[in-house]
Structure 1
Amino acid sequence: MELERLLSMKGGKGEASYANNSQAQAIHARSMLHLLKETLDRVQLNFNHDVPFVVVDLGCSCGSNTIYVVDVIVKHVIKRYEALGFELPEFSVFFSDLPSNDFNTLFQLLPPPVLANNNYGVSMEECLASDNHRSYFAAGVPGSFYRRLFPARSIDVFHSAFSLHWLSQVPESVVDKRSSAYNKGRVFIHGASERTAHAYRKQFQTDLAAFLTSRSQEMKPGGSMFLVCLGRTSVDPTDQGGAGLLFGTHFQDAWDDLVQQGMISSEKRDSFNIPVYAPSLQDFKEVVEADGSFAINKLEVFKGGSPLVVNQPDDAAEIGRALANSCRSVSGVLVDAHIGDKLGDKLFLTVEQRATVHAKELLEQLQFFHIVASLSLA
């Protein structure tokens, strides 16, 4: 519950905000649109136009990526209705994330509505032709997607991208000094002991099972779900791939620097862990099959590319800043809550300095892989 209260991507529109540091996610999402549309083609359409078609984005965060993807989903479904010659329903979209998410920034980015109904007097053709407007009703839903968020049998499409690798909590044994899974000296699973890795994996399995159970109750018969989360190609869970390089190298070293400089104690460092687990394909598949609520249409590892988007690949300082801002945009809220804003500033400045020195190596080696899953109710 403590993590649920605190966790969010960095809000606002500043340099280290998620809104300004999610270009890589946007690129990766666009590269998977053909897979998303394959999932949408499986959704059973309701031809009673009085019943709205309902879309949910889980883990929407506060940038424009969620708005872009939702627009793709709605327009693709509209084209399916039109191809069959059926009257269009109204569309309802729920943007969902944890309560601490910066919904205000997200809602400020939403285009104004242009809805095809008698009150507005606007045709659907005009609506679709207007790129700067939206053809759906929008609402925010705060809460953890590891439990129920919506009424039973109410949702046609669930979409979630770059969120399910976030755990509901740091496994208790990982920060318990008495436990054999205690992650002493580290702030992430990458490079940790086998017992630590097992604790992270078990937490991921528990969380994903809870996620699937909740969605299976909320989804309409004939509905589908498209999920993307950080993944790994290694069978070894202590090798977290791109996430490991992001949080297990310069970020880890920066924490060690604060300890060595006497700014924080080693115990303070060891009581902080990034609650992220990049599963293997097998990790993910085992949970889906054990749950049994969903049929797997597609499940694969997708090469996403680098999380660093820079204008000058030869500018080491820009690369260092990009890595530090990327780290801060997703973990800064947790870091600041743990050690305070001033030490947080020092930590991420150290990350930037270290990353600048290793800029060429980072650009060459930092590579994200994603688990992509298309699921339908069994």
Structure 2
Amino acid sequence: MAPSGDNVVVSNIKLEKMLSMKGGKGEASYVNNSEAQAKHARSMLHLLRETLDGVPLSSPESTFVVADLGCSCGSNTIYMVEVIIKHMTDRYQAAGYEAPPEFSAFFSDLPSNDFNTLFQLLPPYGGASMEECLASDTRRSYFAAGVPGSFYRRLFPANSVDVFYSAFSLHWLSQVPDEVVDKRSTAYNKGRIFIHGANESTAIAYKKQYQSDLAGFLGSRSKEMKRGGSMFLVCLGRTCSDPTDQGGAGLLFGTHFQDAWDDLVQEGLISSEKRDNFNIPVYAASLEEFKEVVEADGSFMIKKLEVFGGGSPLVVNHPDDSAEIGRALANSCRSVSGVLVDAHIGDKLSDQLFSRVATRATTHAKDLQEKLHFFHIVASLSLA
């Protein structure tokens, strides 16, 4: 969890040990600010089911294993795992099997993830038999476990997982590229906290980190997946060839959020160097960049690869209420980056930062509604 207290500053901590979506159930928590992700995921269910239709039905005597990578701490991951298991159960029944196999679901994220909140949302296991589980609407039909660790490395035994699912996670890098925060480097991202609008050297550094991370992800999954298994991936993407134009991610992190950091500098609350040493470790890749890494790795065949219009991350009850839109943007931004901000500048300054984000977003509410839309790369992969 993020450190608490007044003006706590944590430096030189590996990102892997602290990165998480904002835990708990507060106003800016991920649990209360992931409705947009839920809507986007549901809009892609037909593509997920197409992927599942290609997974061979193994013997009912063997366990069918599903893993959600980057599960975070809300109900979205539980819903998607249940969709996968329900679809596979229906396939077994349609194929004439007396009973489906037992199902096992692994929820995986970094150790700093709020697994406690996630596990509290899990319904209890269904009953003495799989049939009783499947007949229940309030109980789960699968065994569940948490797997802490980075998905850029191995997480599971070899040949053990039938279906990998990962949504809205792979755009998070394993680290901010070293040269981006190195004053001696041409990639030093002076004056900015994100790649959006940065110089070419900064963009190259981010791109190389993305390529290295994705290659590590694919190499690990290729060892862990059962022969015939499939992987369904959704991550932020962009339609522009220029990596310094990060599209919706750029508007989320590179405009009002950026300006709020500049406010703190101009008001003397933090130094410009303090701002420059904070960078959002996110990279929205193009379809071509994603494809290049998959093909260079060679472990997987691409069954489907497309850019999918994901809509806006702002979910509001009153679209004409500028203040609600401002709060929604600030909460959305804080739910995914708040832990990093808290660690960098402390709780009090973090509150001031996101208050300024809300104020600025309120002033530009109409523009945000019109322009803040995400695109996602959707990929269905199987072992080559």
- Answer yes or no: same fold by TM over 0.5: yes
2-side partners of 1:134 and 1:56: how far apart? Answer: 16
* Residues 1:154 and 2:153 aligned together: no
Q: Which of 251, 260, 264 does residue 257 from structure 2 map onto? A: 251
* Residues 1:44 and 2:72 aligned together: no
Q: Which of 303, 307, 315 does residue 301 from structure 1 map onto? A: 307
Q: Secondary structure at the match of 1:135?
A: coil
* Residues 1:290 and 2:296 aligned together: yes
1-side partners of 2:190 and 2:135: how far apart? Answer: 57
Q: Where do 1:52-201 residues align within 5 Å? A: 52-86=63-97, 87-115=99-127, 120=128, 122=129, 124=131, 126-201=132-207
Q: Where do 1:289-368 residues align within 5 Å? A: 289-368=295-374
Shift of 1:85: 1.2
2-side partners of 1:325 and 1:202: how far apart? Answer: 30
Q: Secondary structure at the match of 1:229?
A: strand
Q: Secondary structure at the match of 2:227?
A: strand
Shift of 1:51: 1.1
1:17 aligns with 29
When the two chains are superposed, the root-mean-square deviation of aligned CA atoms in Å is: 0.8
Contact 2:126 2:134 (8 Å CA) reproduced:
no
Count how many residue pairs are aligned between Structure 1 and Structure 2. Answer: 371
Q: Secondary structure at the match of 1:39?
A: helix
2-side partners of 1:53 and 1:306: how far apart? Answer: 35
Q: Secondary structure at the match of 1:77?
A: helix
2:219 aligns with 213
Q: Where do 1:260-299 residues align within 5 Å? A: 260-299=266-305
2-side partners of 1:339 and 1:151: how far apart? Answer: 39
Runs of 4+ displaced beyond 4 Å = none
Q: Secondary structure at the match of 1:235?
A: coil
2:42 aligns with 30
Q: Percent identity?
A: 79
Q: Secondary structure at the match of 1:57?
A: strand
Shift of 1:127: 3.0
Shift of 1:44: 1.5
Q: Where do 1:211-250 residues align within 5 Å? A: 211-250=217-256
Q: Give the aligned residue type for 2:75.
A: S
Q: Give the aligned residue type for 2:80.
A: V
2-side partners of 1:136 and 1:227: how far apart? Answer: 22
2-side partners of 1:247 and 1:189: how far apart? Answer: 9
Contact 2:130 2:141 (8 Å CA) reproduced:
no
Shift of 1:129: 3.7
Shift of 1:123: 5.7
Deviations 1:29-72 (A, max 9, x none): 0000000000001112212x221000000000000000000000
Shift of 1:218: 0.2
User: Which range moves more in the overlay, 242-251 or 36-45?
Assistant: 36-45
Structure 1 unaligned residues grouped into runs of 5+: none
2-side partners of 1:44 and 1:303: how far apart? Answer: 30
TM-score when scaled to structure 2? 0.96
Task: Label 1:123 to 1:210 Cα distance change in 2 as closer, same or farther (>3 A).
Answer: closer
Shift of 1:170: 0.1
Q: Give the aligned residue type for 1:61.
A: S
1-side partners of 2:117 and 2:311: how far apart? Answer: 27
Q: Give the aligned residue type for 1:311.
A: N
1-side partners of 2:367 and 2:122: how far apart? Answer: 38
TM-score when scaled to structure 1? 0.97
Shift of 1:149: 0.3
Deviations 1:313-336 (A, max 9, x none): 000000000000000000000000
1-side partners of 2:162 and 2:130: how far apart? Answer: 24
Deviations 1:100-133 (A, max 9, x none): 0000000000111114xxxx1x462x43342221
Deviations 1:71-106 (A, max 9, x none): 000000001111111231100000000000000000
